[in-house]
Amino acid sequence: MILGIDEVGRGPWAGPLVVGAVVLGGTFIEGLTDSKKLSKKRREELDSVIREHAAGYGLGWVHAHEIDELGLSESLKLATIRAVEQIKTSYHEIIIDGTVNFLAGTKKGEYVTTMKKADLLVPSVSAASIIAKVARDNYMAEQDAVYDGYGFGAHVGYGTAAHRAAIEKYGITPLHRLSFSPLSKYQPLPGALDTEQKMSMGGVAEDTAADYLKKQGHEIIERNWKTKYCEIDIISQKDGVLYFTEVKYRRQLGQGGGLGAITKKKLNKMTFAAKLYAHAHKLSDKDLRLAVISLTSDPLVVENYLVLD
């Protein structure tokens, strides 16, 4: 009755950290070993067997924004605790792969043995590494449909050449860990930019857009909120919904509407900036919407206001 623990996702630039915890309870499963030594097909086969026959198993997830906030070491502890909390069957010993007791300081810490290469030597730890690897890989594959063009299903968040090229082309996503040094340049600047009146026509257009939103019942929360990654022109609130609005100004008709300026890359940037703002201001319970206002001059008027999602 050994509770085996192993983690996957410590090193990627994007995606969650996942800790697996398994009590086999005397069940023998042929072929258990370090998940990295198995083919994708074999891992998935064993994952099904483990989930069906193990006495208990759990998965602890810590996502990118939590890793950025807590740091990797604390995230490993949190993911381990979350995994162990799901185990309802009894066990008499805990073995964690590696050299760090991630349960130290908890009531279960004194029952832990750490062991190098435990995922090769201890069946329950091997099983933990397999279910964690399969769960994380499947999650990252699902993100291909959410963030088209990044290839998350192929590199699962690691800093491959293809992944770096996608970031250069499309920017980063809420899956990316900004605390990791290759992505640290995308960390938000402290606070918002000064909102003094701008002399340019673009500044006047933003003032007009803000006035339009106020007349529609919006409360203006921020103007020109900026990160190193993206700027949101206007952040407003109406009926409990937080709106992140891009202002597009064109001097005359025929230059293309505001919606046409919201490319896929721009939409990704706006989406990330909105989620980053909500996280930084502890607004996780808010409904977030993206929007665009297009204006034309002669005279300066709001041509269109569109909520994107």
Nearest to 207 by CA among 217, 196, 218: 196
Q: Is the pLDDT of residue 293 over 70?
A: yes
pLDDT of residue 305: 85
pLDDT score, position 298 = 57
Distance (Å) of CA 147 to CA 176, 269, 271, 290: 12, 12, 11, 16
Is residue 266's pLDDT more than 80? Answer: no
Let me know: does 144 contact 150? Beta carbons within 8 Å: yes
> pLDDT over 70 for what percent of the chain?
88
User: What pTM value is reported for the model?
Assistant: 0.65
Q: What pLDDT sits at residue 198?
A: 36
pLDDT band at 91 (very low <50, low <70, confident <90, very high): very high
Give residue-wise pLDDT tens across range 20-76. Answer: 999 999 899 999 999 999 999 999 999 999 999 999 999 999 999 899 989 999 999
- Helix H or strand E segment including 193: none
Instruction: Report the length, in residues, of the chain.
Output: 309
* Largest distance between two CA atoms of the chain: 80
HSE (side-chain half, CA atoms, 13 Å) at 9:
35
Helix (H, G, I), strand (E, B) or coil at 136: helix
Give yes or no for residue 282 having a pLDDT over 70: yes
Q: What pLDDT, on the 0 to 100 scale, is given for residue 48?
A: 96
Domains of the chain: 2-170 (3.30.420.10), 201-307 (3.40.1350.10)
User: Token digits for 215?
Assistant: 């007349």
Please give the average per-residue pLDDT across 200-207, as a whole number. 64
What percent of the residues of the chain are helix, what percent strand, and what percent coil, each to the nearest 5? 40, 25, 35
Residue 102's Cβ-side half-sphere holds a number of Cα atoms within 13 Å equal to 27
pLDDT at 191 over 50: no
